[in-house]
Amino acid sequence: MTEKEKRDREELYNPNYDEELIKEMRKAKELCYKYNNINPLNLEERKEFIKKILGKTGENILIESNFSCDYGYNIFVGENFYSNHNLVILDAARVEFGDNVFIGPNCGFYTAGHPIYIETRNKGIEYAKKIKVGNNVWFGGNVCVMPGVTIGDNVTIGAGSVVTKDIPSNTIAYGNPCKVKKEN
């Protein structure tokens, strides 16, 4: 089994020894570089170019520069998607956003994680677990969403939150770790 196949099964894998993964990551980095250097006033060019990076998008999408991802093809975005500056999506696993998702500046969605055991971690081993975000979700600035998290529909995540566990629909959640504070 290749390292990419292990990754896609959410098993431990080593991305440093799989030529296909290395090639795909380099391609995504190059595309992100080009995207981030398009004039911000050229909205149509930016919209069309981001579709070359992401796996699937709606028609109404805007991601402000700078944007970074690992592969791009594992990111699926619905309609009316907006992200402010400095969005990072480590998409070794699938990252799915519903419709009407708004993301504040300096947010990160991290499917990649590393073992807590030093010997394993030092070998470059990692894992990837999918992230799913529902419809009508707003993220304040500086939010981190960790591997394996699902966020329901109609959710607000407060600024500075670290989301380590699932957040149910129709809630307002914030904190480190992020917890539901109120139902909508």
Q: Could you state, in order of their start, the residue ranges of all structural domains in the chain?
A: 3-183
Question: Any idea which fold 3-183 has?
Answer: UDP N-Acetylglucosamine Acyltransferase; domain 1 (2.160.10)
- In this prediction, residue 20 has a pLDDT band, given cuts at 50, 70 and 90, of very high
- In this prediction, residue 37 has a pLDDT band, given cuts at 50, 70 and 90, of very high
- Check: CB of residue 152 under 8 Å from CB of residue 168: yes
- In this prediction, residue 14 has a pLDDT band, given cuts at 50, 70 and 90, of very high
List 85, 114, 130, 179, catalytic entry: 114
- Check: CB of residue 101 under 8 Å from CB of residue 121: no
CB atoms within 10 A of CB 75: 24
Q: Is the pLDDT of residue 132 over 90?
A: yes
C-alpha closest to that of 106 among 164, 159, 51, 54: 159
Name all contacts of 147-151 with Cβ < 8 Å and 24+ positions apart. Answer: 147/93, 147/110, 147/111, 147/112, 147/113, 148/111
- Check: CB of residue 69 under 8 Å from CB of residue 32: yes
Global pTM reads 0.96
Query: Is 85 in the active site?
Result: no
